[in-house]
Structure 1
Amino acid sequence: MKPKVICHIMSSVDGRLLNDRWTEPFDGTPASDLFQVYAAIGRELYTDAWMFGKNTLRAAFPYKWGIDGHTVESDSPAVSVGDRHSERMFIVADPEADIYFTSSVLRGNNILVIVGRNATEEYLSHLRERRISYVITDDATDLRQGLEAVDREFGIRSVSVQGGGILNGALLADGLADELSLVVYPGIDGLSGVPSIFEYVGGATDCPAAGQSLQLLSAEQREHGVMWLRYKFHKKLHK
């Protein structure tokens, strides 16, 4: 089984994600106060873990580990448990196995990395030295396989994905999203082509949302005019 996946994201009213482009609150409230509302809502989801896309994580760990080395042996243990003291865990899929971690925690939460068989023994040693947990899957780009592994090996039953439009788009296309937690900032971007809530990378004929419908579960107004919309995905087609 895989964990319940909640795509938790904040956008402008026109669905754009680059918050430095959004218009300012009308009453002079600092935009950072509104971002704190989003963060607080994320904690209210009470998931076992949360997840960024790799590109988003680069803001915290910008340096790369070299990918040359001894490829992990087929009989190497597929699971390593590092520090696990936090109430929630932070998950990242690292298909290239090259994130250079300088800490075993992100925002106070212990880190769990999903890597593929292309990872090197040297990189796995780096993770163990940092006391970072990991699981090895056949292919770390296979999100379903990775999510099933963290459920099976670490007992993670729910994940809030806060990684951005590309990760959301990949989850959507694979039919892995169970809920959408959309926090709407009362401002506008307005420019065509700016990244949006779901950004599937594909061709013009691809329909990543095909066979999926949304049911509104709740709509709440929060502080500073922020709206929180929560939807459930219904899947008509199994992908």
Structure 2
Amino acid sequence: MRPYIICHMMSLLDGRIDCDVTEKIETGDEYYEVLNQLDCSSTLMGRVTMEMHYALPEAFVAEDKAPIGEECFNIAIQTKGYIIAIDTMGKLKWPHNQFDGMPLLVITSEECPKEYLDTLTKQYISWIAVGKGSIDLKRAMEILRAEFGIERLSVTGGGNINAAFLKEGLLDEVSMMWCPGIDGRKGMTAAFDGLANDFPPTKLKLMSAEKLGDTIWARYNL
């Protein structure tokens, strides 16, 4: 058992997802209005996205680097929904334990220093440590459902974490918004990025499509 998972993204027509650029093209609240319509109680983002928008600028550096070394979790605040950060080795420092009205929950690997997880506990931040070497996303999603009660989850980037969920077969839907603009800069991250060259293409089935001003919103299932 795991949550029902929807990847929700806004990109330019060329698939790039630089928020600074998309916000210059699409200046309204359409992205967040659509996200609310998806009725997901919790939202998950990758380390880079969380570092850009939520975490403190300086990295956490453990004095004692001994790893937690086992699968475990801590529920600091029991609630209906969380804002969830993926942070494999425990590098992000947090100014608060809540953002956008939702408590923070951090997912790390079992290689994460115990000192980092103890720091989260002292800040009343929930956490999950799961996976040897890297985060076991499938097991993390099972823990989210069984222990934290999360039934619907939106994954909102960046491109590498979106691709990781796709690779693990964890996405039930893709909710994609294309705003009326082009980026075109070399090397900019796409909505799904970082997969090996031999990873097969993923065929989707269109569920619905809607015009929101000059923005197109389409929902697909896998």
> How high is the TM-score relative to the length of structure 2?
0.88
Instruction: Specify the alignment match of 1:78 in structure 2.
Output: 72
Deviation at 1:169, TM superposition (A): 1.3
Deviation at 1:21, TM superposition (A): 4.1
Question: CA 1:96 to 1:213, structure 2 compared with 1: closer, same or farther past 3 Å?
Answer: same
Deviation at 1:119, TM superposition (A): 2.4
Structure 2 Cα separation of the partners of residues 84 and 146 of structure 1: 17
2:182 is aligned with what amino acid? I
CA shift digits 1:43-88 (9 cap, x unpaired): 111112101110000022132111341635557x822111345x52
Check the 8 A contact 1:52/1:163 in 2, yes or no.
Answer: yes
Question: CA 1:74 to 1:195, structure 2 compared with 1: closer, same or farther past 3 Å?
Answer: closer
Check the 8 A contact 1:8/1:161 in 2, yes or no.
Answer: yes
Structure 1 Cα separation of the partners of residues 23 and 115 of structure 2: 46
Check the 8 A contact 1:117/1:137 in 2, yes or no.
Answer: yes
Q: Select 1:161's aligned residue among 138, 155, 161.
A: 155
CA shift digits 1:112-145 (9 cap, x unpaired): 1112222223212211111111122133522212
Instruction: Specify the alignment match of 2:61 in structure 1.
Output: 66
In structure 2, runs of 5+ residues without a counterpart are none
Query: Are 2:208 and 1:218 aligned?
Result: yes
Instruction: Calculate the aligned-residue CA RMSD, in Å.
Output: 2.2
Structure 2 Cα separation of the partners of residues 92 and 83 of structure 1: 15
Q: Which entry has the higher C-alpha Rg, 1 or 2?
A: 1
Question: CA 1:19 to 1:66, structure 2 compared with 1: closer, same or farther past 3 Å?
Answer: closer
In the TM superposition, 1:164-183 aligns within 5 A as 164-183=158-177
Question: CA 1:70 to 1:173, structure 2 compared with 1: closer, same or farther past 3 Å?
Answer: closer
Structure 1 Cα separation of the partners of residues 90 and 10 of structure 2: 28
Instruction: Specify the alignment match of 1:195 in structure 2.
Output: 189
Check the 8 A contact 1:89/1:110 in 2, yes or no.
Answer: yes
The count of aligned residue pairs is 219
Instruction: Specify the alignment match of 1:236 in structure 2.
Output: none
Deviation at 1:159, TM superposition (A): 0.9
Question: CA 1:183 to 1:3, structure 2 compared with 1: closer, same or farther past 3 Å?
Answer: same
